[in-house]
Structure 1
């Protein structure tokens, strides 16, 4: 099927262009004006904004082993409804993705069941250095290490092992950075005050600014010493911002940073109404931190905006603080959050596209995706910025069946999502066909 998208406002590479897009097979065939083709299916964008498909560099789709929470099939459908056409999934599943054999098992699952394009990360541990050394640079997105404990018990706390990993690969090493000793000491303090009934609002005090800064600064120090290519996931504090550079082009940066939509939207005051639904690691912090993160995005000290989609069931999230897992579902609404910030004047739509589409492609050296260019894969998202929608259980596609945004009215809506030239989402429905592809990389 060939498509022609007419009268779109194409947002790409820092500009907004009034243009038509011609799609043939799985590629963008032509970008121009007054494009026509006899046998094509026409979509009149009517001045809506056309974006490259979002590339989410951090999701947890829970398969294998935790499919009561989510699956690659269910969450990739939700991603398409939210304009995310490509995801990079994390290794804290059951079993942990810490061997090449386990990594390829996930690729086999995704090939059969994923509705969005996919890649995965191999998890680094205290004792799997040989697996990391054997990993082909073309096989997956990169390496993930947990320098703070979170879902999956993948904490790597041996500094010698960290240095060995950093010295043994040219792949991007993405890191969860929170200082474990700091967190444990904070937790003991609040347990001494409240016993086992710690109020949820103290989460940001337990997993606090200093825990993040100590770990991030230590990881960056090791990376600079070893020459590693380090990417700090989900930066959540203003204090960490000065650890990052905005003078070096992204292609040349050795140290990069990501922020997540929940840290850009919520603040500690929201614990009062949202409670455990916004319990994440790293924690939601203050309005001052949120303001600093938004500023850092505009100043290019933060390179990527992602979701850190990490669903749990409502029953699990209903537990008391010590037994309540951290994380929540986000892929269906991550782009809408950023478009809302655009409509509120907090960021430009070109900057949203840069951080959510272009920069993940550049950073992970993804082949032919992340831009609207002739010859690139036709991963495209059409958004209507004048069609509001209220988030409710009835329009959620997450397997877990809830969202921290329930009740929120977003002013925009994803109307069409293309994956590899196929219309996969329109009129509120995701196609039942699978046309996704395993990511390929431009790496030597």
Structure 2
């Protein structure tokens, strides 16, 4: 059995920071103490020299593009970028080709990940207007959530039949993850933009087309239906200040039937950045105003927003270089998400304990993931070692996502991830991914 001892760590877990050592046997943390000696001669010792050790990040929303879109990314390439960014577990979305709307297609993804993934993996099942029977067959101990698109970000996965939505909300026991944008509002706004600009719609019109009202109308209706039916819903990627008023703070996350998430790009960028970034910050929902960003931050810090995620969704530069109507929405983020949030720690906008709560603890609690998301004895050894005083600059040469670009190119981050451990194995160290994979399928205790 592999034995690893991490010495001289500044451990961040359970909203505390303390100095100590971590002893690992196999894939499990066996002991945490002020000082631990090697148990035997075959123990591998990693002296982190006072660096922070965090639980591995659990990203509840990624698009790794396999199967069917592997020219943009695949499970191997994007999970390698993920572990380089301190993400040790991910939940992947169903809008691949074919779509993951049946257990058969879900199993195919699981088989690919078992072979190729560097990080622990899980795959959401997608809902449509006509696959309720398939949804009800799902093994809730192996599937993190049901994903519904209430705006046509992904073509024919749009669930637009109100009666079907009511049935899903009433019958499905899984947490239901939602992309909320009102289709009718978006179509009307888009037509106005086409009438005004023709094919030359500026990218700064994206938050005008996919506006605050499109988001609020959809999310507020979903919440009303959840309150009526008792469904457990998780609203993905909040982008507006107005929506934050729909969510409550509760003493225990376990008690929240209605939860929410914010993504890195909505905390970092604003509509003022379209002038320089253009299609590289075109996401659905759109990056919006400075005021929207500030209200998102407020809701994140006062616990109305529960989770920070990436919505990692790579496209090629060739695809992104199209004019507005043809340029796809989405971008790569897994490699830089944690270091971006640590940049805000340096700015004293958020504490490192709060970052760990929103990126590690809360996803584990919300999705019922046992033995991950915390640094505790008996938990899986998914760990990230962070040097908060070792600046580096994002360049094309050090980007691991298959698409080869990042909206953070040229940004100098003050913090660097030196090691990532997945199930007790060092899978990443100082810009190098270890080919010895140790990923496991996530399970859910329900």
- What TM-score range do you get, normalising by the shorter chain? over 0.9
Hey, what's the Cα distance between the residues in 2 that align with 1:240 and 1:315? 34
Checking the alignment, whether the CA contact within 8 Å between 1:251 and 1:362 is kept in structure 2 is yes
Q: Given the alignment of the two structures, is residue 267 of structure 1 paired with residue 270 of structure 2, yes or no?
A: yes
> 2:283 and 2:167 mapped to 1: Cα distance?
29
Q: Give the TM-score of the pair, scaled to structure 1.
A: 0.99
Aligned equivalent of 1:14? 15
Match of 1:295 in 2: 298
Q: CA RMSD in A?
A: 0.8
Counterpart CA distance in 2 for 1:408 and 1:233 is 26
- Return the offset for 1:433: 1.3
- Alignment of 1:417 with 2:417, yes or no, is no
Name the counterpart of 1:318.
Answer: 321
Q: When the two structures are superposed, what TM-score results if normalisation uses the length of structure 2?
A: 0.98
* CA-CA distance at 1:3 after TM superposition: 1.2
Gaps of 5+ in 2: none
Q: How much does 1:152 deviate?
A: 4.7
* 1:346 match: 349
Superposition deviation, residue 247 in structure 1? 2.6
Kindly report which structure 2 residues correspond to 1:138-177, keeping only aligned pairs within 5 A, or say none: 138-177=141-180
What is the CA–CA distance in structure 1 between the aligned matches of 2:51 and 2:297, rounded to whole Å?
25
Separation in 2, partners of 1:43, 1:244? 42
Q: Which runs of 4+ in 1 moved over 2 A?
A: none
Q: Does 1:68 align with 2:71?
A: yes
Give the distance between the partners of 1:289 and 1:182, measured in 2 at CA: 19
Shift of 1:367: 1.5
Instruction: State the match for 1:253 in structure 2.
Output: 256
> How does 1:32-431 map onto structure 2 within 5 Å?
32-37=33-38, 38-39=40-41, 40-431=43-434
Structure 1 residue 85 displacement after superposition: 0.2
Task: Provide the rounded CA distance (Å) in 2 between the counterparts of 1:380 and 1:76.
Answer: 15
* Contact 1:96–1:152 (Cα < 8 Å) also in 2: no
Rounded Cα–Cα distance in structure 1 between residues aligned with 2:290 and 2:36: 47
The 1-side partners of 2:30 and 2:154 are apart by 43
Q: Distance in 2 between matches of 1:383 and 1:432?
A: 21
User: Match of 1:432?
Assistant: 435
C-alpha distance in 2 between matches for 1:192 and 1:428 = 48
Unaligned runs of 5+ in 1: none
Q: Is the 8 A contact 1:93 1:152 kept in 2?
A: no
1:18 shift after superposition? 0.5
CA offset at residue 427 of structure 1? Answer: 2.5
1:385–1:413 Cα contact (<8 Å) kept:
yes
Aligned length: 443
